[in-house]
């Protein structure tokens, strides 16, 4: 089965056609709405399809083009937004009952930026509740299905955004990545997914999960489309004090520069135990393709990444337990009435959060509690330093690193829901990047023995996105 619906062009092609007047945004939007109408019932990529809003925005954009205006680099390109990005006046649920019906009073910075570049929001996509999960099965509104095989998960937590692009419901989408939530679903759905350097993209309006790890990034069916979106959303934002106050180096201009002379290291610790042999074989093939294109490929060792999963599942829940204390039934979202405010808060949180969110809140509360702080959270933060040191040493030898994105191809729905730890192991290869704030991209690179997509991950040091995209473009070409 083809991942991308036939007859639908790339974001680069759509924007060029709309800007030049060869196509109207209205035609483009109607085409994608028809795809959604035909297959969304099988996939459930969206919590909300913004059909009327998209038609109105397209008509307005077409009037601007007719009047001689240039709407920008994403002119008329439909975009799907993960439903943890705030949209003013439009429900933003995080796939949680606790925020059902909430209409935020402001837009996320990325939502403003893509709209300002001419993109048209076509819907809010499904996710694991509050982005906690690796399969999109932890949604209060039911799971999303993988467009390549609807008995399989799309990955997660940004499973709706990955599936929307894979199914041809939108050429591009936005997700968030805290421990792999963009890259892993991109791999499982056979699309491109980017986790930018921490601080490159503003998190203002991204509903917080783990603030020192969260980052917004694009999904696309081509590397050039992902680059186009990243160039639009990257850049300093005074509304996010963790955003990097420096000019952004765009990635689009270097896409064709190749990998001649680049030093690329295959991470040995992420190629052994736990990695399915058919996935490892595709990563080996990718390494050979990069070598054939002129890169110097070798084996890299980043020993401390083996502690990444443990450190992550102490740090991320700790931050989440703090961030999610705001859902108390007072200012927005669900309230379950009770005699006192304290009882109301407990009743609201008990009714509003799903099991995985409760698990992580309790795990985080435990890791931060008196008597356990030093043994768990404190120690995990020191392990984070060890991982950063090992990466720094590897990047003295190599410009980029290479690994699988996900240890396996897409698994069956329900296969891992009973055992949270087994589910967490999906994130082994992606978590280290978040812990150290670096960049990484997942590029589709053929299929596994089951015929399902395999993603190869290119890892880069902080702010080395231009180099990372050069390798991604070479891999995309080699996979053709």
Nearest to 102 by CA among 147, 148, 51, 48: 48
End-to-end CA, the chain: 16
> Near another protein by CB under 8 A, which window of 5-13, 123-131, 362-370, 470-478?
362-370
Nearest to 408 by CA among 222, 250, 201, 184: 184
Q: Where in 63-122 is the site for another protein (CB under 8 A)?
A: 102-106
Member of 94, 311, 441, 459 binding another protein (CB under 8 A): 311
**DSSP E strands, 268-399:** 296-300
Q: How far is the CB of 32 from another protein (least distance, A)?
A: 30
337 is a site residue for another protein (CB under 8 A): yes
Known active-site residue 157: yes
Cα–Cα dist 400/443, whole Å: 14
Query: How many residues in the shown chain lie near another protein by CB under 8 A?
Result: 75
Task: Give the three-state DSSP class for 47.
Answer: strand
Largest CA distance in the chain: 70
Q: Where in 420-439 is the site for another protein (CB under 8 A)?
A: 420-421, 424, 436-437
380 is a site residue for another protein (CB under 8 A): yes
For residue 240 the two structure tokens come to: 């996010």
Known active-site residue 181: yes
Cα–Cα dist 459/366, whole Å: 32
Member of 20, 151, 341, 397 binding another protein (CB under 8 A): 341
241 is a site residue for another protein (CB under 8 A): yes
Measured from the CB atom, is 235 or 332 closer to another protein?
Answer: 332
- Using only C-alpha atoms, the chain has a radius of gyration, in whole angstroms, of 21
> Near another protein by CB under 8 A, which window of 36-44, 45-53, 180-188, 340-348?
340-348
At residue 174, φ and ψ (nearest 5 deg) are: -115, 140
> Near another protein by CB under 8 A, which window of 115-123, 160-168, 293-301, 336-344?
336-344
Among candidate residues 10, 135, 158, 181, the one labeled active-site is: 181
How many residues are recorded in the chain?
A: 480
Q: What is the DSSP letter of 377?
A: I
Nearest to 302 by CA among 185, 438, 171, 197: 438
Member of 32, 130, 204, 307 binding another protein (CB under 8 A): 307
Q: How far is the CB of 475 from another protein (least distance, A)?
A: 26
478 is a site residue for another protein (CB under 8 A): no
Among candidate residues 95, 121, 157, 176, the one labeled active-site is: 157
346 is a site residue for another protein (CB under 8 A): yes
Q: Where in 191-220 is the site for another protein (CB under 8 A)?
A: 198-199, 212
13 is a site residue for another protein (CB under 8 A): no
**DSSP E strands, 415-452:** 439-447
Cα–Cα dist 437/392, whole Å: 12
What is the number of other CB atoms lying within 10 angstroms of the CB of residue 145? 22
464 is a site residue for another protein (CB under 8 A): no
Neighbour order of strands in the sheet with 296-300: 46-49, 120-125, 78-82, 172-176, 216-220, 192-195, 439-447, 453-460, 400-404, 263-267, 296-300
Q: Where in 25-44 is the site for another protein (CB under 8 A)?
A: none
> Near another protein by CB under 8 A, which window of 8-16, 158-166, 356-364, 444-452?
356-364
277 is a site residue for another protein (CB under 8 A): no
369 is a site residue for another protein (CB under 8 A): yes
Task: Give the three-state DSSP class for 90.
Answer: strand
238 is a site residue for another protein (CB under 8 A): yes
340 is a site residue for another protein (CB under 8 A): yes
3-state DSSP percent of the chain in helix, strand and coil, to 5: 45, 15, 40
Among candidate residues 82, 124, 195, 416, the one labeled active-site is: 82
460 is a site residue for another protein (CB under 8 A): no
Q: Where in 384-423 is the site for another protein (CB under 8 A)?
A: 384-386, 388, 419-421
At residue 286, φ and ψ (nearest 5 deg) are: -65, -40
Cα–Cα dist 152/327, whole Å: 32
290 is a site residue for another protein (CB under 8 A): no
Catalytic amino acids? 82, 157, 181
């Amino acid at each position: 089965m083809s991942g991308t619906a036939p007859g639908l062009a790339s974001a680069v092609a759509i924007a060029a056609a709309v800007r030049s007047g060869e196509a109207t945004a209205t035609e483009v939007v109607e085409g994608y709405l028809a795809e959604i109408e035909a297959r969304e019932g099988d996939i459930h990529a969206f919590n909300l399809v913004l059909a009327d809003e998209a038609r109105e925005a397209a008509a307005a954009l077409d009037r601007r083009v007719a009047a001689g205006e240039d709407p920008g680099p994403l002119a008329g390109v439909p975009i799907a937004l993960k439903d943890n990005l705030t949209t003013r006046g439009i429900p933003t649920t995080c796939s949680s009952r606790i925020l059902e019906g909430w209409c935020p009073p402001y837009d996320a910075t990325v939502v403003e930026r893509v709209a300002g570049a001419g993109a048209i929001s076509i819907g809010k996509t499904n996710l694991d509740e509050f982005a906690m999960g690796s399969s999109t099965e932890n949604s209060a509104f039911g799971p999303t299905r993988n467009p390549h095989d609807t008995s399989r998960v799309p990955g997660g937590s940004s499973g709706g955004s990955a599936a929307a692009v894979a199914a041809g419901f939108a050429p591009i989408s936005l997700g968030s990545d805290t421990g792999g939530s963009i890259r892993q679903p991109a791999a499982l759905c056979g699309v491109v997914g980017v986790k930018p350097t921490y601080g490159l993209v503003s998190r203002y309006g991204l509903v917080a999960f783990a603030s020192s790890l969260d980052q917004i990034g694009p999904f696309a069916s081509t590397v050039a489309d992902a680059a186009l979106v990243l160039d639009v959303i990257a850049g300093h934002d005074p509304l996010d004090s963790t955003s990097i106050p420096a000019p952004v180096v765009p990635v689009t201009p270097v896409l064709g520069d190749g990998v001649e002379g680049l030093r690329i290291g295959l991470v040995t610790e992420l190629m052994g135990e736990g990695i399915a042999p058919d996935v490892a074989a595709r990563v080996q093939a990718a390494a050979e393709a990069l070598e054939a294109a002129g890169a110097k490929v070798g084996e890299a060792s980043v020993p401390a990444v083996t502690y990444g999963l443990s450190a992550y599942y102490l740090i991320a829940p700790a931050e989440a337990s703090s961030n999610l204390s705001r859902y108390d039934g007072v200012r927005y979202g669900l309230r379950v009435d009770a005699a006192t405010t304290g009882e109301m808060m407990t009743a609201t949180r008990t009714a509003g959060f799903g099991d995985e969110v409760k698990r992580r809140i309790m795990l985080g509360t435990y890791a931060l509690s008196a008597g356990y702080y030093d043994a768990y959270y404190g120690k995990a933060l020191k392990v984070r330093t060890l991982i950063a040191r090992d990466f720094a040493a590897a990047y003295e030898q190599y410009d980029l690193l290479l690994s699988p994105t996900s240890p396996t191809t897409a698994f069956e729905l329900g296969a891992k829901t009973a055992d949270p730890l087994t589910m967490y192991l999906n994130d082994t290869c992606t978590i280290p990047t978040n812990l150290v704030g670096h960049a990484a991209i997942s590029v589709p690179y053929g299929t596994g023995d089951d015929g399902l997509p395999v993603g190869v991950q290119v890892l880069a040091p902080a702010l080395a996105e231009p180099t990372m995209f050069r390798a991604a473009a070479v891999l995309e070409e080699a996979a053709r």
